[in-house]
Amino acid sequence: MRVVKKPEERRAEMVCAAAKLFAQQGFVRTSVAEIVSAVDVAKGLFYYYFTTKDDMVKAVVEGYCSYLGAYADAIAAGEGSAMQKLERLLQPEVFHGCFTEPLVRDLCLPQHAALYTDMCDRVYAHMSPALCAITAQALRERDGAEPDADAVQRVTSVALYGVLMTARRGEMTLAGAREAARKLFER
């Protein structure tokens, strides 16, 4: 017997199933048939919610970024120095739980540059408010004065996009990002 669910529930089930498959084998090796099989729905339902598999990748990445943004907001609003907050934020298990090696490997392929750029924009949209708050706190701790909000936004934007772009080329790790942030905060 067919189980009827609300559209947003069914869509969320497909995104969750896709996220698990992408984490295990990347999205290149994951077929639409595998995704719909995991939730036991017809293939046509996939295309009702998503125009292409790339749209599914974007939905999965949005879910991860939303989670990371909420996590970052909680850290930024919590106790501790700016550096302590940044250290908590840049714990490898947090990011590796979302952006697994198979998923990131596929996102970094040249033919998926648009998806990587989309991911960067989503990371920025969700993480920027918390990172700006932590950066402003670091400047207050260092200078004892309220920093210029526009300058904080610019520094955070350049740093975040710089990390994301160097990570794409395989030149940045979380440990490298922590070290770069520490040096930036010291300046």
CA 105 to chain centre: 14
21 occurs within a structural domain: no
User: According to the model, what pLDDT value does residue 1 have?
Assistant: 54
Burial group, residue 138, by CB count within 10 angstroms (0-12, 13-18, 19+): buried
User: According to the model, what pLDDT value does residue 185 have?
Assistant: 65
Contact status, residue 155 vs residue 118, Cβ threshold 8 Å: no
43 occurs within a structural domain: no
22 occurs within a structural domain: no
**One pLDDT digit (tens) per residue for the chain, 187 residues:** 567 778 899 999 999 999 999 999 999 999 999 999 999 999 999 999 999 999 999 999 999 999 999 999 999 999 999 989 988 988 878 777 788 888 988 998 999 999 999 999 999 999 999 999 999 999 899 888 999 999 999 988 888 888 888 777 777 666 777 777 677 666 6
Contact status, residue 164 vs residue 131, Cβ threshold 8 Å: no
Burial group, residue 86, by CB count within 10 angstroms (0-12, 13-18, 19+): buried
37 occurs within a structural domain: no
Q: And the tokens for 131? A: 């990172």
17 occurs within a structural domain: no
14 occurs within a structural domain: no
Q: And the tokens for 83? A: 């550096």
Task: Quickly tell me which residue has 């596929």 as its tokens.
Answer: 106
Phi/psi class of residue 40: alpha, beta or left (left: φ > 0; alpha: ψ in -120 to 50)?
left
pTM of the model: 0.88
What contacts 120, CB < 8 A, 6 or more positions away?
Answer: 161, 164, 165
| Range(s) of the domain holding residue 147 | 52-186
105 occurs within a structural domain: yes
- Name the domain count of the chain: 1
180 occurs within a structural domain: yes
User: According to the model, what pLDDT value does residue 187 have?
Assistant: 64
